[in-house]
Amino acid sequence: MIVVIDYKAGNLYNVGNALKYLKAEFVFSGDPAVVIRADKVILPGVGSARAAMDSLAAQDLVQVLQRLRVPFLGICLGLQLLFEVSEEDNTQCLGILPGAVRRFNSSQVKVPHIGWNQVVGVGGFSQPPPSLLQDISEESFFYFVHSYFAPLVDSVTLGQTEYGNWFGSLVVQDNFYGVQFHPERSGEVGLKVLQNFLEVQ
């Protein structure tokens, strides 16, 4: 069973609609007992890092998520929460990945970053593509909406995107996966990303 974390925020229903389209069985839940029994977990994200972490803490989900051993997918803010800290309200995050999430420099680029952009494999796609990007063209565009961005971290960042500077848009460490873009709003290529996650063992 797939559990989509309901932490009283986030893009729950768009993610749910995408999973329904893929004929995946899932539930929305913020109950730790349900999350612990999940085969896969998805943390969607819209809103602020502080509000999201406060909600996860109030539902006793922080340590549950940190200790997960099943495949986990963080989307947008869900990716950012995997890191140690976010510059947004100086928020302590889940600390699963090393590094700090920063805000785009509004003197260099328009903030937030909204629209379609590409994800480039770190080291180039001469390497085998990350599992979430299997059978997806290197020229594909994905839909982004965010004001904060993940750092580039060796061995963790497998995909990067350029907007003023390069930032981490696809991260993987062990069973934890994160994408900065919204697969549920990225058309067929986004659905393929979700399908690839559903097939992760």
Out of 104-108, 130-134, 180-184, pick the least confident: 130-134
> For all residues of the chain together, what is the average pLDDT?
94
- Does the pLDDT at position 162 exceed 60? yes
- Does the pLDDT at position 125 exceed 60? no
Report yes or no: 160 and 152 within 8 Å, Cβ to Cβ: yes
- Does the pLDDT at position 126 exceed 70? no
What is the predicted pLDDT for the residue at 45? 83
pLDDT digits (tens, 9 = 90+) for 53-77: 999 999 999 999 999 999 999 999 9
Domains of the chain: residue spans and CATH = 2-198 (3.40.50.880)
Mean pLDDT of 45-53: 90
- Helix (H) or strand (E) holding 173, with range, is strand 165-173
Write down the pTM of the prediction.
Answer: 0.96
Residue 185 Cα distances to 13, 24, 157, 191, angstroms? 11, 17, 22, 9
Contacts 24+ apart (CB under 8 A), 28-31: 28/3, 28/4, 29/3, 29/4, 29/5, 30/5, 30/6, 30/55, 30/59, 30/61, 31/59
User: 101 in helix, strand or coil?
Assistant: strand
What is the predicted pLDDT for the residue at 8? 78
What is the predicted pLDDT for the residue at 128? 66
- Helix (H) or strand (E) holding 196, with range, is helix 187-198
What is the predicted pLDDT for the residue at 124? 58
Percent of the chain having pLDDT more than 90? 88
Dihedral sign, Cα of residue 62, residue 64, residue 67, residue 70 = negative
Where does the pLDDT of residue 123 fall: very low under 50, low under 70, confident under 90, or very high at 90 and above?
low
Residues annotated catalytic, as ranges: 76, 182, 184
